Amino acid sequence: MMETQSHSTQPSSDPERKILIVDDEPGIVKLLVETLQQEGYSCFGCESGQEALRLIRAHGFDVVLCDVHMPGMSGLDLLRLVREKHSRVAFVMVTGEGDIRVGVQAMKEGADDYLLKPLNLEAVMISIKQVLERKKFADELDNYRLHLEEMIEQRTAQLRKAIGRIEQTYDETLQALAAALDLRDNETAGHSRRVMEYSLEIARVMGCKNEQLNALTRGALLHDIGKIGIPDDILRKPGPLTVQERAVMRMHVWRGYGLLNHLAFLADAAEIVLTHHEQFDGTGYPQGLIGVDIPLGARIFAVADTLDALTSDRPYRRATTFAAAREEIIRESGKQFDPAVVSAFLAIGEGTWAELRSRKGIVRALGIEREKFMLPIQFDAALRSLEASV
């Protein structure tokens, strides 16, 4: 191998560019190496394909200029091996006098250019410059693509983060709203949070997916949002409601649905809000839906709602025990409640329900991404803040 770094007094080419000359005729190698060095290239030479492969592996080259006819490994053999392992190296094939077909074959197999013998040094320089230009452009394109991919990854990560923040803000807003609703209805302080916890526990046992859990979280929190439109003298009436008042009260499911269903992120929750008073046997309202025509979230919510209602104190009665609430839920299986949901409810131990009632159970109950389910703690903070302000 003959190799000399370029020290031309007037380099006309990029000295970082490395060229390898491969030819079994030492005189040609010497002539080309010296000529290219004078032009300012870092030029190396060798006399066989095997040696060329070793040099390419060891040093890396921008251009290989190779004679096609060599003993042992031919120029075409070398070209194929270079294309397999070193695809970014530009390759110029040198063929015999008038042997254009070999040149064309070399181009088909991945050569960037070909030259005919006897070599014209000016043609060699032009060819080298052209393939280097194309290689430079291809390298820049690769770098740009790489940069673009990195940029897209970064932007995607930023976008995900922003969406996460927006979703968190949505949920915090919903929790504050639910806390406000509970405060307006004196009987149900903390009710929305608890039914959300209970519903999610049952849903987890039933194998619900994250999307269903999200809809259930929001639907349970906002199930009675339609009561915003119910006058205080009906909503807070201490005695039994008249038929007319009951009809007004029942409108809260439609009002709630109307408030939420046009918001894309609450569309599924709106279905739960509309159907949360339906009963499995078709005796509920507003549509008298039967069985699985009632959305699963609403069937789950119904059990959770009854559990919390029975085990919470009311101004007119004390809370029942968990055992009594459990018996009541079993009695209503197939009537008010979906038996499959009741089975899931029964599969959960009393200790879990007690734990869910307290703050300790909040994260465990949700069973999906922990961050999202730190929210009920913020819910309590929102509740305390609202309580302090009234």
Contacts with Fe ion, residue ranges (CB under 5 A):
224
To Fe ion, the closest distance from the beta carbon of 151 in angstroms equals 49
Sign of CA dihedral 228, 234, 240, 243: negative
To Fe ion, the closest distance from the beta carbon of 284 in angstroms equals 11
Closer CB to Fe ion, 280 or 373, in the complex: 280
Distance CA 79, CA 52 (A): 11
Distance CA 277, CA 162 (A): 36
> Side by side, which strands form the sheet with 18-22?
2-4, 42-46, 18-22, 63-67, 90-95, 113-116
The pair of three-digit structure tokens given for residue 309, joined into one six-digit string: 């209602």
Residue (of 62, 58, 83, 59) closest to 19 by Cα position: 62
289 close to 309: Cβ distance less than 8 angstroms: no
Q: State how far the alpha carbon of 88 is from the alpha carbons of 30, 214, 387, in Å.
A: 25, 50, 69
Task: Tell which phi-psi region holds residue 279, choosing left (phi > 0), alpha (psi between -120 and 50) or beta.
Answer: beta
284 close to 278: Cβ distance less than 8 angstroms: yes
To Fe ion, the closest distance from the beta carbon of 262 in angstroms equals 20
Closer CB to Fe ion, 224 or 308, in the complex: 224
Q: Which residue is nearest to Fe ion (CB)?
A: 224
To Fe ion, the closest distance from the beta carbon of 376 in angstroms equals 20
332-368: buried (b, 16+ CB within 10 Å) or exposed (e) per residue? bbeebbbeebbebbeebeeebbebbbeeebbeebbbe
Pairing of β 42-46 and β 18-22: parallel
To Fe ion, the closest distance from the beta carbon of 208 in angstroms equals 21
Distance CA 187, CA 280 (A): 26
Four-CA torsion 216, 219, 220, 222, nearest 10 degrees = 160
To Fe ion, the closest distance from the beta carbon of 227 in angstroms equals 7
To Fe ion, the closest distance from the beta carbon of 223 in angstroms equals 6
Closer CB to Fe ion, 171 or 224, in the complex: 224
The pair of three-digit structure tokens given for residue 328, joined into one six-digit string: 């009541």
Rounded to the nearest 10 degrees, the angle between the axes of helix 252-260 and helix 243-250 is 20
Closer CB to Fe ion, 288 or 351, in the complex: 288
To Fe ion, the closest distance from the beta carbon of 185 in angstroms equals 10
To Fe ion, the closest distance from the beta carbon of 246 in angstroms equals 12
Closer CB to Fe ion, 286 or 367, in the complex: 286
Closer CB to Fe ion, 32 or 260, in the complex: 260
Closer CB to Fe ion, 213 or 274, in the complex: 274
Closer CB to Fe ion, 66 or 273, in the complex: 273
To Fe ion, the closest distance from the beta carbon of 155 in angstroms equals 43
Segment holding 2, helix H or strand E:
strand 2-4
Closer CB to Fe ion, 246 or 370, in the complex: 246
- Kindly calculate the radius of gyration of the chain based on its CA atoms and give it in whole angstroms: 39
Distance CA 18, CA 62 (A): 5
Pairing of β 42-46 and β 2-4: antiparallel
Residue (of 324, 298, 327) closest to 312 by Cα position: 324
Closer CB to Fe ion, 197 or 224, in the complex: 224
